[in-house]
Amino acid sequence: MNSSQKTVCIACLLLLSACASSSDPASSWSRSYLAPQDEVIDAVVDVLEDEHYLVDVNRASGRISAEPSRAGASGRANLVVRVEPRKGRMAVGVQTRSGAQFSERAGNTAEAQVLEFLHELDLRLQGNRE
């Protein structure tokens, strides 16, 4: 292999590693929908209630707090969901809450719960997702 081929291979490897390292797992904890804010908030609340969460909604701020009900509390994370307009769409972001701390990163169990919630939300708002 000559030096120009080695240079190309190294450049490709650097590009691939940059792409792999830039994928932030927390970025998968958000969605964007082409739907009115009230429709998105209603869908968020419906999904959370179906998943046995007790829900507190502040429609003015677009903030939805959810904690597991006793019936569904087995290891479920507390969630904070924000629904806010962004570039003509409704952005939905999810964080987990532990005590007074908020995090977009959590253990595998919490991540699975968040992804399950977002999947169900996608199904409810099907056709409205970006």
Which residue type occupies 60? Answer: A
Each residue's pLDDT tens digit, 21-79: 333 444 579 999 999 999 999 999 999 999 999 999 999 999 999 999 886 566 788 99
Q: Is the pTM of this model over 0.85?
A: no
Whole-Å CA distances, 9 to 4, 12, 18, 32, 91: 9, 5, 14, 37, 39
Domains contained in the chain, CATH given: 25-124 (3.30.310.80)
- Provide the 3-class DSSP secondary structure of residue 55: strand
